[in-house]
Amino acid sequence: MNSIVVNLMQVKQRIELAALSAKREPEDIELLAVSKTFPAAAIEEAMHAGQSAFGENYVQEAVEKITQLAKLRPWLVWHFIGPLQSNKTREVAEHFDWVHSVDRLKIAERLSTQRGEFPALAELQVCVQVNVSQEDSKSGVPLDQAESLCDAIAKLPNIVLRGLMAIPAPNPDPNQQRAALSQVRACFKHIQASRFTDPRFQFFDTLSMGMSDDLEAAIAEGSTMVRIGTAIFGKRDKINK
């Protein structure tokens, strides 16, 4: 059996066990397969094994793969999860279904305007990225600014505000992992609760956090979408990029 198929089965089992341990329903957690640096053929293998959502970090590489797999487009959902610069927003607005890494209003405004240039496309689904560990090397808005940024983004046309995304600093201690993730969850829940009557927040339901090394902690802290790459596709190598 193909290793990607086996890996997908094992990751789904991890998700199920983590969900049951957290007294949650496994189907409430979506698996996003992070395919950055891996070829289109690997994505196609994963798709035939039942995976439909794929995450990419690098715009040029991603657009090449999306083009290569154009015949499979009806069955694929493309998520952009990497840092996004202003000069790359148009390509993302044209080719992706989701963007997880919006951390500035300027980026959201550009995505909103540029998505509008493609009337045949559905609204772009976006998450605000928060920098919960306050790392200089990571993108993301500080937690205490996430609420106001969400309010501003929710007013824009052609995009739908879906939730928050976070990449906490790596930590081998599950308790420390949960401590960071719980801050994101608290912010997410506060925004949900304080705006539950606002129609602009009716789809604010996504908490995108958790990767191969902290999947269990993220699910315990309420993640609705885990972004898994290495555990599915294997160790990354620059040759694959």
Return the pLDDT at 37: 95
The DSSP code sequence of 47-84 is HHTT--EEEES-HHHHHHHHHHTGGGGGG-EEEE-S--
Give CA–CA dist 80/88, Å, rounded.
11
How confident is residue 240, by pLDDT bands cut at 50, 70 and 90? Answer: very low
- pTM (two decimals): 0.95
Whether residue 9 contacts residue 15, with contact meaning beta carbons closer than 8 Å, is answered with: no
Give CA–CA dist 51/131, Å, rounded.
28
Return the pLDDT at 1: 56
Q: What is the CB neighbour count within 10 angstroms for residue 63?
A: 18
Return the pLDDT at 111: 98
Give CA–CA dist 220/209, Å, rounded.
11
How confident is residue 235, by pLDDT bands cut at 50, 70 and 90? Answer: confident
Tokens of 169: 């600093």
Whether residue 55 contacts residue 35, with contact meaning beta carbons closer than 8 Å, is answered with: yes
**pLDDT 10s digits, 101-143:** 999 999 999 999 999 999 999 999 999 999 987 767 678 999 9
Whether residue 233 contacts residue 42, with contact meaning beta carbons closer than 8 Å, is answered with: yes
**pLDDT 10s digits, 156-183:** 999 999 999 999 999 999 999 999 999 9
Domains of the chain and any CATH numbers: 3-240 (3.20.20.10)
**pLDDT 10s digits, 180-196:** 999 999 999 999 999 99
